[in-house]
Chains A and B, each alone.
Chain A
Amino acid sequence: MLADVLLDGLGLGAIYAFIALGYTMVYGIIKLINFAHGEFFMVGAFVGYFALRDLGVDEVDLPQPLPILLAFLVAITLAATAAALLAVLTERLAYRPVRRAGRIAALLTAVGVSFFLQNLAVQVWGAGARAYPEPGIWLYVDDLPAKADADYKIRERVEAVVLKGDAIDTARKAALRAEGIERVYRTPDLTKEGKQGFVLLALLLWTPVLWWLVKRTRMGRAMRAVSEDADAARLMGININLIVAATFFLGAFVAGVGGVAYCATYGSVKPLTGWIPGLKAFIAAVIGGIGSIPGAIVGGLLLGVAEFAIPALLEQLGWADAKAFQDALAYVFLIIVLLVKPTGLLGKPQREKV
């Protein structure tokens, strides 16, 4: 019970963290709450969808788990790059022209871009939810184990070739070949819990990389300088436009990774996929202290766990319908955190700029 709640919460929280990173980095540099960030996440998820569906990496003859890992790797790389390029383009066309027009103008532009991208996605990809493809493996009939331990099927879902538990003896193999079937397709028995484990692992691997980029590289130092004082940074010879573009690129790249992870874990993608996770991730960034990278991670994980743990706890205490208010409880949690610590858990107290 407790383990279930923790895994569900951490798995979802890791996704929030992936998106929150982008919010927090962009906010840290140009004080813009980029409401279109959830849409970068969604576009990444869609690009991953097409990559997993059409690239046919699983047809490459590699030893067993490799084709699946390779398929995911290719899909995630393409998705993240596409999301990052879209973010850079958006920054160039929509945000840069209004950057000096004040924060409200920039905020409204971001909301506009969000709606624009959502509706563009509806026009291009249709509004309905699509099943997210699961990469599988092609096996030659000869290679089938004597006893089937999984579902094998023809790719196009025409019919199941071998049902679960059916013994596959020589006669059966011959019968399959007589039907003209040489290879059968196997989707892996990846459970949701397994995928959530992968997402957590990915987050653990990514965080130090981002931290290193921001704290230990020249570009990171320039980012921090722009964040501290943009005009002074410009006087020091830092190309602000380049640094802002790089920040958008990085933030959306991570969101693209999150997009594929999220949709592969939960099984579907649609143009509104980015809406609620984007909103929740924004909350996570605020809980953690917007502008702070460790804060985004802590906030994301905490919000994810809180979403599952609070209703479960209240249910144990006797409120049978607590789960009906899962989201409301998460927001109440946010309000309490902000009442106790207005700058977020790891946020620095804000200095008035004169």
Chain B
Amino acid sequence: MARLGRVLLLLTTCLGLLGTAGCGDDYDGLVIGVVLPMTGPQATYGEESWNGLQLAEADLRQAGTNIKFKLVLKDEKSTPQEAQTQAKTLMELEGAHVLLGSVASSNTKTIAGAAKENGTPCITPASTNDNLTTGNPWLSRICYKDSVQGGVLATFALSNGWKRAAVCVDNESDYSRGFADNFKGAFEAAGGTTHFEYFKAGNADYSNVIQGVADANPDVIFISGYYEDGGPMIKQAKARWEGKPVIGGDGLDSAEFLTLIGDAQNPIYFSTHFAPDAPDEPAVKAFAERYRERFGKEPGAMAALGYDVLFVLMDAAKRCANPKSAAELNTAIGATKNVKGITGLISLDNPDRTPNKPLVIVKVEGGAKKFHSTIKP
């Protein structure tokens, strides 16, 4: 029996090795390395982004393209260290000409570092931290950045007449802190006041932060964090938050958020990259329908960004004489102008290589997400 255990262990190890084995040596097309969190706490984002990429690949192939390309996916297991390792594996062993990834800013940071060292272009679909693209000409992104999101959310709150905000922050997360600080800057500059309360991701009891917010008696509660914390927090607060409005960012944009909040009576709004029910957007509607058909799920923001990132890349590759030349491809990506994506019009021809897109505000109503408005930064 002990032997059986060992044999099983050996067998699983071998299977694991087989799964990662691959060879990019004799492929003569454009090799696109994709680094995403497919396991670990951020796996839902990775899965959605990958679905979006697959859908984009299918659409590109169906439309017909002159450029031969393939996608190679590596799992960064939701850690910055693994993200760097996988980025290096892709560039050195798989012969990747360009990298796409990742979701969490901390993880994209290490990927972009490796890409810069190696001189390989890299585009992140969804990392919003402001500092990522500064000082690294090899990294571009197709999403907005945190300072923009913080400013938009502050504008939205003030336009509703909410002057005093309680902000729930996770001090250990780059995303949460950066977002909260940017919100605070914009909100206070426009005459609002903020009160900070702290929580820690993964501690399932939010009593401290809930009570702190209740004591501060704000007009609006801003949760700067991910749905895994925001959802249960709103549910646990129930009576203590007395139906006060709650706002948040793209971290709350997840289907599970809607069930996690339970029977919360608070009006909830969050800013995000895209809403499948946005009016007057036939391309968005068509994308959402094909996504539902193929994956049987409602597309979230990561899916739309994953979809767009491949189109931005292929648009740049088309403008290159030789897309496999790193310098030429990177210049072409940086010259991207008005590519019509699901998440808006994408132009990267600015020093930040970050698009200036409008944000979507979504309202949670009767257990579903409803398009509310778009706000231009």
User: A residues bordering B, Cβ < 8 Å?
Assistant: 4, 8, 11-12, 92-94, 96-97, 119, 122-123, 126-131, 134, 151, 157, 159-160, 187, 191-192, 262-263, 266-268, 270, 272-273, 275-277, 308, 311-312, 321, 323-324, 326-327
Contacts and interface: CB of A to CB of B under 8 A. Distances in A.
Contact of B43 (A127, A151, A263, A267): A127
Interface string B293-311: 0000000000000000000
B285 to A, nearest CB: 22
Nearest to B234: A267
Most chain B CB within a 10 A radius of its CB, from A12, A151, A192, A311: A192
Contacts of B263: 151, 187
B239 interface: yes
Given A267-B232, A268-B231, 7 more contacts: A8-B205, A122-B39, A131-B256, A131-B260, A263-B204, A268-B260, A323-B209
Given A130-B256, A323-B209, A97 B2 contact: yes
Contacts of B227: 129
Given A8-B207, A324-B171, A327-B203, A129 B5 contact: no
Given A126-B43, A131-B256, A323 B1 contact: no
A149 B263 CA distance: 14
A229 to B, nearest CB: 24
Contact of B205 (A97, A157, A266): A266
B2 A96 contact: yes
Contacts of B228: 128-129, 268, 270
A129 B39 contact: no
21 contacts: A11-B205, A93-B1, A96-B2, A97-B2, A122-B40, A127-B78, A128-B44, A129-B232, A130-B259, A131-B256, A131-B262, A157-B259, A157-B367, A268-B204, A272-B202, A311-B208, A323-B197, A324-B169, A326-B200, A326-B203, A327-B200
Interface in B1-32: 1-2, 4-6, 8
Summarize A's interface: helix, strand, loop or mixed.
helix
B136 interface: no
Contacts, number: 113
A321 B203 CA distance: 18
Contacts of B212: 323
A12 B205 CA distance: 8
Interface residues of B, number: 45
Nearest to B6: A97
B207 A4 contact: yes
A77 to B, nearest CB: 23
Nearest to A130: B256
Contacts of A122: 39-40, 43
Nearest to A9: B207
Nearest to B39: A122
Nearest to A271: B41
A127 B205 CA distance: 20
A311 B228 CA distance: 24
B371 interface: no
A127 B104 CA distance: 15
A89 to B, nearest CB: 10
Contacts of A270: 41, 228
A321 B238 CA distance: 24
Please list the 5 inter-chain residue pairs (A to B) with the smallest Cβ-Cβ separation, ordered nearest first.
A127-B43, A324-B198, A131-B259, A266-B204, A128-B44
A272 B1 CA distance: 30
A129 B260 contact: yes
Contacts of B262: 131, 134, 267
A10 to B, nearest CB: 12
A262 B40 CA distance: 21
Nearest to B201: A276
Contacts of A134: 262
B251 to A, nearest CB: 12
Contact of A4 (B205, B211, B254): B211
Most chain A CB within a 10 A radius of its CB, from B171, B208, B256: B208
Given A97-B2, A266-B236, A127 B40 contact: yes
A12 B203 CA distance: 10
Contacts of B64: none
Nearest to B259: A131
A127 B203 contact: no
A266 B39 contact: no
B5 A97 contact: yes
Given A130-B256, A267-B235, A323 B39 contact: no
B43 A128 contact: yes
A129 B231 contact: yes
